[in-house]
Amino acid sequence: MEKIGQRIKTFRKRKGYSLTRFAEELGLSLSYVSQIESGKSNINVALLVDIAKKLELPSVSLLLDDTPKPDVEVIRAEERKSYMRNDGNVTIDLLFATASRQLEATIIHLPVNTDTKKPESHKGDEFCYVVKGKVNLNLEGRGAFDLKAGDVVSYPAEVPHNWKNISDEPCEVLIACSPVSF
């Protein structure tokens, strides 16, 4: 948590936000934001996303080490980062995200009777492949699409979207987007 807090502080200062103004604009107490930046308080994914949006950054830039990486990178299964959403019902595995190549890939795990809740949007394009199960993809203003394992969909990520498991088994959806958004 300390490294994430340090990155938040660095980007906040680059944007010219005082700690007080930043806390006010996020609707958080000054002490809580100070604790986040000093690594003394945990931060959930929803708040991380809100902070990144305020700083006009992909959320992943607050999570990943910014030391240069080789142009070929192997990420072992046990080294991947996973994040919980929707009160721990939905898991997102961050497969990789490279700011330099502007590409991100994740797998969303949707247990039976779950969804990703409110529609979200971000810059760029998104490609999705249903690995397992049946899901409903709702693209606001564009329609809702029932997809099964093996189906592929792509769309502009600026369209608010959310996912719902519509099968009686856990579902997995592989998502790739460009540029990095999480």
Q: What is the pLDDT of the chain when averaged over all its residues? A: 86
Give the mean model confidence (pLDDT) for residues 36-65: 82
The residue-averaged pLDDT of 23-41 equals 91
Q: How does pLDDT run across 139-169, given as a tens digit for each residue?
A: 999 999 999 999 999 999 999 999 999 999 9
Tell whether the model's pLDDT for residue 133 goes beyond 60: yes
Q: What pLDDT is attached to residue 68?
A: 55
Pick from 6, 12, 10, 38: nearest CA to 25: 12
Q: What confidence score (pLDDT) does residue 123 get?
A: 83
Higher pLDDT, 4 or 166: 166
Domain with CATH 1.10.260.40 in the chain: 2-63
CATH superfamily of 2-63: lambda repressor-like DNA-binding domains (1.10.260.40)
Mean pLDDT value of segment 32-51: 88
Highest-pLDDT range among 85-89, 137-141, 175-179: 137-141
pTM metric for this prediction = 0.63
The reported pLDDT for the residue numbered 168 is 95
> Mind spelling out the 3-state secondary structure of the chain?
CHHHHHHHHHHHHHCCCCHHHHHHHHCCCHHHHHHHHCCCCCCCHHHHHHHHHHCCCCCHHHHCCCCCCCCCCCCCHHHCEEEEECCCCEEEEEEEEECCCCEEEEEEEECCCCECCCCECCCCEEEEEEEECEEEEEECCCEEEEEECCCEEEEECCCCEEEEECCCCCEEEEEEEECCCC
Q: What pLDDT is attached to residue 101?
A: 62
Q: Where in the chain is the domain with CATH 2.60.120.10?
A: 77-178
When pLDDT is cut at 50, 70 and 90, the band that residue 83 belongs to is: confident
Residues 106-122: pLDDT tens digits? 999 999 999 988 898 88
What is the domain class of 77-178 according to CATH?
A: mainly beta
pLDDT at residue 182 in the model? 58
Percentage of the chain beyond pLDDT 90 is 45
